[in-house]
Amino acid sequence: MAEVVLKDLVKTYPGNESRATDAVSLEVADGEFMVLLGPSGCGKTTLLRMVAGLELPDSGQIVIGDRDVTYLEPRRRNLSMVFQSYAVFPNKSVADNIGFGLRVRGVGADDVRRKVAWAAELLQLTPYLDRYPAKLSGGQRQRVAVARAIVMDADVLLMDEPLSNLDALLRLSFRAELKKLVGELGTTTLYVTHDQVEALSLGDRVAVMREGAVVQCAAPTSVYDEPADTFVGGFLGSPPMNFLTGTVGHDGTALRLDLGGQSVPVPPALASYKGSDLTLGIRPESVTVEEPGTTAIADDTATVRGALQVLEPLGSAVLLTTEVCGQTVKVQAPAAFRTEPSSELRLCIPAGQCRWYDPETGLLLEVP
Ligand SMILES: Nc1ncnc2c1ncn2[C@@H]1O[C@H](COP(=O)(O)OP(=O)(O)OP(=O)(O)O)[C@@H](O)[C@H]1O
228, 260, 283 - which closes a domain: 228
Give the residue from 66, 76, 67, 59 showing the smallest Cα distance to 25: 59
Query: How many whole angstroms from 40 Cα to the centroid of ligand 1?
Result: 8
- Number of separate domains in the chain: 2
Q: With respect to residue 113, please indicate whether it lies within any of the assigned structural domains.
A: yes
Q: With respect to residue 58, please indicate whether it lies within any of the assigned structural domains.
A: yes
Q: With respect to residue 235, please indicate whether it lies within any of the assigned structural domains.
A: no
Residue 325 vs residues 43, 102, 304, 322, 329: alpha-carbon distances, Å = 37, 64, 9, 10, 10
| Local confidence band at 88 (pLDDT 50, 70, 90 cut-offs) | confident
228, 256, 285 - which closes a domain: 228
266 and 298 both lie in a single domain: yes
Query: How many whole angstroms from 55 Cα to the centroid of ligand 1?
Result: 12
* DSSP code at position 157: E
The pLDDT tens digits of the residues spanning 186-214 come to 999 999 999 999 999 999 999 999 999 99
| Local confidence band at 86 (pLDDT 50, 70, 90 cut-offs) | low
pTM for the predicted model, two decimal places: 0.91
* DSSP code at position 308: E
222 and 261 both lie in a single domain: no
Q: Domain range spanning residue 287?
A: 242-365
40 lines ligand 1 (CB under 6 A): yes
Plot region of 53 (φ>0 → left; ψ -120 to 50 → alpha; else → beta): left
Nearest CA, atom 14, ligand 1: 43
N- to C-terminal Cα separation, the chain: 39
Helices and strands (H and E) in the chain: how many: 8, 20
Strands, DSSP E only, in the chain?
Answer: 4-11, 21-28, 33-37, 59-64, 67-68, 79-82, 156-160, 188-193, 205-210, 213-218, 242-250, 255-258, 263-265, 277-282, 288-289, 301-313, 317-324, 327-334, 344-350, 355-357
Query: How many whole angstroms from 43 Cα to the centroid of ligand 1?
Result: 6
pLDDT at 326 over 80: yes
Q: With respect to residue 341, please indicate whether it lies within any of the assigned structural domains.
A: yes
177 and 216 both lie in a single domain: yes
154 and 294 both lie in a single domain: no
Q: Which CATH number characterizes residue 342's domain? A: 2.40.50.140
Q: With respect to residue 237, please indicate whether it lies within any of the assigned structural domains.
A: no
249 and 316 both lie in a single domain: yes
Determine the atom of ligand 1 nearest the C-alpha atom of 43.
Answer: 18
Q: Which CATH number characterizes residue 222's domain? A: 3.40.50.300
User: Average pLDDT, stretch 327-336?
Assistant: 95
The pLDDT tens digits of the residues spanning 131-151 come to 999 999 888 888 899 899 889
Residues 5, 205: Cα–Cα separation, whole Å: 15
